[in-house]
């Protein structure tokens, strides 16, 4: 059994896949916040994990904690490289690219092969990346995620409250503070994605991450877009089915 892990700055997402299963076909999956990290071993205990593939962008301490918790010594730490699984990475320094972004791009490409695509991963940060139809990761944008954007207003002003991300976006211009914050933050997120799609001449857009459920519904795009849960895990899984696991530090 293969254990896939996407360790982000807010939550650790994981999935278990039988050997040879198609990308995204999982026996079990889940997510915990960093505070609940200790719950992970119990979730994996009844499965015979023989190897693990981990994307970690949340630092060395989490790396060490995960290494102790993962119930196999056959752990591969996923890293961004110049080329993988038919995709070329045009980042100036390929290893500087967040390995979750590289995995998300591979996952999006596996789902939308041959299309000029944008993959937006809406987590702690929102990352919006472009992949060409012929498989080049062109680069992207990084902005504060929806939660972080809203929290930065509450923390750095005297009069603005902390708003809950789940509230409905008001139509038109807001007539109260909470709705105005929500409208501004959601418009910034959606606007950046729309701008990236226009800049790239994209024909498809995949939206993923914990805040995708709030951002995707307000997107206005002239073509199909869809929410895909756990695009990073799908991308990690796709590398196992198309090429051997890599084993280099992230
Ligand atoms: N149950 C949840 N726990 C934490 N964050 C959530 C949850 N549901 C939605 N979110 C939103 O999603 C973001 C975290 O999404 P996620 O994709 O897990 O981020 P990361 O990959 O950076 O850890 C938070 O910033 C928050 O806005
Ligand atoms: C941009 C990120 C912080 C996103 O992290 P996340 O929101 O998924 O927790 C992460 O991909 C990262 O640390 N990237 C390194 C810099 C780069 O991609 O250029
Ligand atoms: K992200």
CA–centroid distance, residue 210 to ligand 1 (Å): 4
* Local confidence band at 246 (pLDDT 50, 70, 90 cut-offs): very low
The pLDDT, as a whole number, for residue 242 is 61
Q: Are 169 and 183 in contact (CB under 8 A)?
A: yes
For the ranges 138-142, 159-163, 165-169, the lowest mean pLDDT is seen at 165-169
Write the DSSP symbol of residue 66: H
- Expressed in angstroms and rounded, the spacing between residue 85 Cα and the centre of ligand 1 is 28
Q: Residues with beta carbon inside 6 Å of ligand 2?
A: 8-9, 57, 96-98, 100-101, 123-125, 127, 142, 145
Nearest to 9 by CA among 54, 52, 62, 65: 62
Which residue is it, tokens 């954007």? Answer: 149
pLDDT, residue 172, reads 76
Q: Is 51 assigned a ligand-binding role in the annotation? A: no
The CATH number of 2-79+235-242, from 3.90.1010.10, 1.10.10.10, 3.40.190.10, 3.30.420.40, is 3.30.420.40
Strands 51-56 and 2-7: parallel
Q: Indicate if the alpha-carbon torsion angle 25, 28, 34, 37 is positive or negative.
A: negative
Query: Is residue 168 predicted with pLDDT exceeding 80?
Result: no
Alpha helices (H) along the chain? 40-44, 60-69, 99-111, 146-156, 177-200, 212-215, 231-242
Same fold, 2-79+235-242 and 90-231: yes
* Domain boundaries of the chain, sorted by first residue: 2-79+235-242, 90-231
Catalytic residue among 100, 179, 224, 229: 100
| pLDDT value at 244 more than 70 | no
Q: What is the pLDDT of residues 189-215, one digit of tens each?
A: 999 999 999 999 999 999 999 999 999
In this prediction the pTM is 0.95
100 is catalytic: yes
pLDDT digits (tens, 9 = 90+) for 34-90: 999 999 999 999 999 999 999 999 999 999 999 999 999 999 999 999 999 999 999
CATH 3.40.50.2020 fits 90-231, yes or no: no
């Amino acid at each position: 059994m293969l254990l896939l892990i996407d360790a982000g700055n807010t939550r650790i997402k994981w999935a278990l896949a039988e050997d040879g299963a198609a990308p995204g076909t999982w026996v079990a999956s889940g997510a915990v916040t960093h505070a609940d990290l200790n719950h992970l071993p119990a979730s994996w205990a009844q499965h015979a994990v023989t190897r693990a593939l981990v994307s970690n962008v949340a630092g060395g301490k989490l790396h060490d904690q995960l290494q102790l918790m993962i119930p196999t010594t056959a752990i591969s730490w996923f890293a961004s490289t110049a080329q993988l699984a038919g995709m070329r990475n045009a980042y100036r320094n390929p290893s500087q690219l967040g390995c979750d972004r590289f995995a998300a791009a591979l996952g999006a490409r596996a789902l939308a092969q041959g299309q000029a695509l944008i993959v937006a991963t809406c987590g702690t940060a929102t990352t919006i990346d472009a992949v060409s139809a012929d498989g080049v990761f062109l680069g992207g944008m990084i902005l504060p995620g929806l939660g972080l954007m809203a929290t930065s207003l509450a923390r750095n002003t005297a009069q603005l409250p902390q708003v809950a991300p789940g509230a409905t976006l008001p139509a038109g211009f807001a007539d109260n503070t909470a709705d105005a914050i929500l409208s501004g933050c959601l418009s910034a997120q959606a606007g950046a994605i729309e701008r990236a799609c226009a800049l790239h001449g994209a024909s498809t857009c995949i939206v993923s991450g914990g805040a995708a459920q709030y951002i995707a519904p307000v997107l206005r795009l002239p073509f199909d877009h869809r929410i895909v849960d756990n695009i990073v895990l799908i991308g990690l899984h796709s590398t196992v089915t198309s090429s051997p696991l890599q084993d280099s530090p992230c």
